[in-house]
Amino acid sequence: MFHKKNTLVFAVISIVLAANLSFALPRIAKYSSVDEPYWTYGRIAKFWTAVSQQNWRGTNINDKPGITTAILAGPGLLAIDPMPYKSLREQVKSPATIAAIRKINFSFRLPIYLMSLIFFLLFYVFLKKLFGTAIALLSLIFIGLSPILIGISLIINPDSLLWGFLPLAILAYLIHQKESAENEKSEKINFADTPPGKIIWRIIKEKKYLLMAGLFLGLSILTKYVANILYVYLLGLLFLEYIYNFHAKKNPAAYLKKAIFEYLAVIVVSMLVFFLLFPACWHTPSMVLGGTFLSLAFKSTWPLFAGFLGLILADLLLLKSFFAEAVLNFLAKHKNLFKKLFSTLLLLGTIFVFVNVYRGMRFIDFEATVASPKGGSGLDPLRFISELSANLYVLIFSLTPLVFLFFLWAIFVNAFRKAELATRESTVVLYFSIFIVLYYIASEVNHVVATTRYQIVIFPMAGIMAAIGLKQFLSQFPWGSLTLPTHRYWTYATTILLSVFSLYLISPFFFNYASLLLPQKYVLNLKDMGDGSYEAAQFLNTLPDAKNITIWSDKGAVCETFAGTCKVSFSRKDTEGIAFKYFVVSTGRKSRSLKMSSPFNSSVDFKKLYSSEESGIFRINIGGRANDFVKVVPIEHIAK
């Protein structure tokens, strides 16, 4: 039985990775993305040039900061020097130049994509430790075959790594909490009689997941400063863990003393990782604080956070957790109500999103909200609710129907399960639900609507919640137990097939995925990353005498591999007097183009250009949605 079980695990992992590779590998070179040129033709080379010259200050390449992106994509520099091709985007290109650009894309994207495969394996290892094999494998299927996660993994961008690092930091911390709950009594180290080497080895052995939480937290912040949210979230987790798993076993003072010390250890490790891998900090050590507690992403909340943490430490050290004990005991007594209220609000939010969508966006125009992700400043309750709902709208319809249904089931079951009967699975569903809401609120505090890319870290968590929900759903039936080999085979096979089917329907435009549950007239990812641009350029390259054709495009991604002359500017001085033959436009840039087109040549009717009725001579409807298009339109079709 043990051998058969291992064979099944190996088979499922192999099939998921093979399916991921079969969809992703052909796309690595044949894809043009927006924003990538900032990395391929600038930041990556700048980082490694600064390292080679020991110009540590020069490694501060971006305000993300994107250091892990530069480090991992760096091997691409060994394959090809991108700098000779930096200024050729809008110019005429030979077949050899286009081939070189494809090689640049492949060489720099491949290391990041391979890292995503490592993420999948790490998710399996961590989740097996946290929940067991069944949920680990189901999660691997949902995460490894997610269209959105495959799509982001093919793009050179900090979000292409953040989706892995940040959830892994949380999982490592949760594993440590689980082990602490199961192994409360551990032999104390005799520091006086134990050699330093053995002390260090024992700490690493016993606290390895705590150290890994700090490692992945540090990598997350090196990737994108938004990961600072984990400083708040992990602190909250240690209180939630006491309320739901430790209350009957320990007094608050003993628990908090150990938990807060371990939490501070995670922070120290994360800051150490940040310092060691970010050479600019070697030149200016204060950048460690600037990238963590004093970063722009944490600027508006860190004083409250610091004050709260200071009060906890003062209560612990001076009053032996007098106030903490009163608060935690109160929350523990009402933990069932807290859980129900929280889960019910999330369910009601989901119901509202569906009602609003299927009533024709009667109450809130989610599309308009997502199209302008930079929210306004100041306190506006109606805008706050509108943008929170829009965030949930993006998440719900970016999940495949299968993942969404069991994601929702997990929340539903958690809402009505008595806290006294809570399992590690149900508490993690609650923890992840809290993270989602906290993440959305943090986005609101920073005046940003969480588009698909901005909430990419939530997708692995949603996949894990869906895996828990599927296991809990199957357990309701006598034939649904995953302890029986036949049931496991059918469950994994069906889940893989349905997930692959969702990938097939959207292929190759993975990052523009929208669920079949979303009515066809709506567009979800209005801030796409360039899907369809490569295909439009390749069509234009097949036209006779393509080299001598001049086009205008609303995305520079089209220009990247187009053989002729390509313009993206709206400026009159850059467009006046140019004989454009074709215009390439997409849904994602419609709002921007209509706002900025006034200086453009007055002979072009931009409203007609973006009209769904104007099909042009080449058109791609992303995911079969007529309102989500990339099209090539001849000038004569839109001339006034």
Least confident of 84-93, 250-259, 347-356: 250-259
**Secondary structure percentages of the chain, helix, strand, coil, to 5:** 70, 5, 30
Helix (H, G, I), strand (E, B) or coil at 583: strand
CA gap 384, 288 in Å, rounded: 32
Which pair of structure tokens corresponds to residue 592?
């921007």
DSSP 511: G
Which whole number is the average pLDDT over 143-168?
Answer: 97
DSSP 56: G
Residue 192, pLDDT score? 57
DSSP 41: I
Residue 419, pLDDT score? 58
pLDDT above 90 for 59: yes
The model's confidence at residue 2, banded by pLDDT at 50, 70 and 90, is very low
The model's confidence at residue 143, banded by pLDDT at 50, 70 and 90, is very high
pLDDT above 90 for 152: yes
DSSP 303: H
Cis (ω within 30 of 0) for the bond into 65? yes
CA gap 627, 191 in Å, rounded: 68
CA gap 510, 514 in Å, rounded: 9
Which whole number is the average pLDDT over 183-195?
Answer: 59
Could you tell me the maximum CA-CA distance found in the chain, to the nearest angstrom?
Answer: 89
Least confident of 62-66, 173-177, 486-490, 598-602: 598-602
pLDDT above 60 for 187: no
Q: Give yes or no for a contact between 361 and 367, defined as CB atoms under 8 angstroms apart.
A: yes
For 380-406, letters b (16+ CB in 10 Å) and e give eeeeeebbbbbbbbbbbbbbbebbbbb
- Cβ-based neighbours of 200, under 8 Å, separated by 6 or more: none
- pLDDT digits over 452-508, tens only? 999 999 999 999 999 999 998 988 877 666 666 777 888 999 999 999 999 999 999
**Residue 49 CB neighbour total at 10 angstroms:** 14
Which whole number is the average pLDDT over 374-381?
Answer: 63
- pLDDT digits over 396-423, tens only? 999 999 999 999 999 998 877 765 556 8
Residue 214, pLDDT score? 97
**What DSSP assignment string belongs to 329-396?**
HHHHHTHHHHHHHHHHHHHHHHHHHHHHHHTTS-S--HHHHHHS-BPPSS--HHHHHHHHHHHHHHHH
Top-confidence residue, 245 or 150 = 150
* Highest mean pLDDT pick, 248-252, 259-263, 381-385, 458-462: 458-462
Backbone angles phi, psi at 553, to 5 degrees: -130, 145
Which pair of structure tokens corresponds to residue 322?
């007098």
Average pLDDT, the chain: 88
Top-confidence residue, 298 or 578 = 578
- Cβ-based neighbours of 393, under 8 Å, separated by 6 or more: 353, 356, 357, 366, 370
